[in-house]
């Protein structure tokens, strides 16, 4: 066997390694680099990557792979107006007929909704409506945020999906320290509040765009 043949043989041996090394965060069969929504939170990667901080909460996971990009204990998809009945931070009843990795029923306009006009959509904003009360405080007690910075204290994430274990439906069967909560109902309550305020904001604005941003300077 000559040298070129040896090199070719080595590459053939290594090829499966390269193929199987491709990451698939949401386990939908589409490698992250080809997946329109790599973490299956209903928000396309290009939106999650469109803001100045690629890792909003500094947890080491880029926003497009992070199920809770701002670490407020509320999954991104909930803050983008989608359902999460099992509390795992990913789209329920996932449908992808065009095989692009993005849920067919995801609502793009809510994913980009910026109620308080601070330049951040709700899933990246620790205070989505700008009322001075952190989103985390709206649906949970202050014990989870002793330093009052709007983010969950003592963050831990065994499955490395960006969602704190105390709120992660994927870990409910672990019964971690008795701290896991019945989060889906709380998420629905918060989501209803967000959607109600979004509707009010859009209806009260004479010139609102599809994302709820008001362009009426007289208001």
pLDDT band per the 50, 70, 90 thresholds, residue 60: very high
Distance CA 180, CA 1 (A): 60
Q: What pLDDT is attached to residue 40?
A: 93
Segment 167-204, tens digit of pLDDT: 787 765 444 434 444 455 566 666 666 666 665 654 55
Q: Is the pLDDT of residue 117 over 80?
A: yes
Q: What pLDDT is attached to residue 41?
A: 93
- The overall average pLDDT reported for the chain is 76
Q: What pLDDT is attached to residue 141?
A: 62
Cβ atoms 72, 80 nearer than 8 A: no
Residue 196 or 130, more confident = 130
Up-side HSE of residue 141: CA atoms within 13 Å toward CB?
3
Q: Is the pLDDT of residue 62 over 90?
A: yes
Q: What pLDDT is attached to residue 175?
A: 45
Query: Of 38, 213, 211, 209, which is closest to residue 110 (Cα–Cα)?
Result: 211
Q: What pLDDT is attached to residue 198?
A: 60
Q: Is the pLDDT of residue 125 over 70?
A: yes
Q: What pLDDT is attached to residue 114?
A: 85
Q: What pLDDT is attached to residue 19?
A: 42
State the burial class of residue 103 (Cβ atoms within 10 Å of its Cβ: 0-12, 13-18, 19+): buried
The region of weakest confidence among 32-41, 62-71, 90-99 is 90-99
Q: What pLDDT is attached to residue 9?
A: 56
φ, ψ for residue 202 (rounded to 5)? Answer: -70, -40
Query: Of 157, 187, 173, which is closest to residue 65 (Cα–Cα)?
Result: 157
Burial 153-185 (b: 16+ CB within 10 A, else e): eebebeeebbbbbbbbbbbbeeeeeeebeebbe
Q: What pLDDT is attached to residue 5?
A: 56
| pTM of the predicted model as reported, rounded to 2 decimal places | 0.73
Q: Is the pLDDT of residue 85 over 60?
A: yes
**What does the pLDDT average to over 24-29?**
89
The count of residues in the chain is 219
**What does the pLDDT average to over 98-102?**
87
């Amino acid at each position: 066997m000559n040298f070129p043949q040896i090199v070719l043989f080595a590459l053939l041996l290594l090829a499966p390694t390269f193929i199987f090394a491709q990451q698939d965060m949401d386990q939908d069969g589409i490698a992250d680099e080809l997946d329109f929504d790599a973490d299956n939170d209903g928000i396309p990667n290009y939106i999650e990557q469109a803001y100045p901080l690629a890792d909003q909460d500094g947890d080491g996971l880029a926003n497009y792979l992070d199920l809770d990009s701002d670490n407020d204990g509320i999954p991104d998809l909930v803050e983008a107006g989608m359902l999460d009945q099992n509390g795992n931070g990913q789209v329920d009843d996932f449908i992808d007929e065009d095989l692009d990795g993005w849920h067919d029923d995801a609502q793009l306009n809510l994913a980009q909704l910026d109620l308080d006009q601070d330049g951040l959509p709700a899933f990246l904003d620790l205070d989505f409506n700008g009322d001075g009360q952190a989103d985390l405080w709206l649906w949970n007690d202050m014990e989870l945020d002793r330093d009052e910075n709007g983010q969950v204290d003592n963050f831990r994430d065994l499955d490395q999906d960006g969602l704190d274990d105390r709120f992660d439906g994927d870990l409910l069967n672990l019964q971690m320290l008795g701290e896991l909560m019945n989060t889906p109902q709380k998420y629905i309550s918060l989501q209803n509040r967000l959607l109600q305020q979004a509707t009010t904001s859009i209806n009260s604005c004479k010139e609102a765009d599809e994302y709820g941003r008001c362009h009426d300077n007289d208001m």
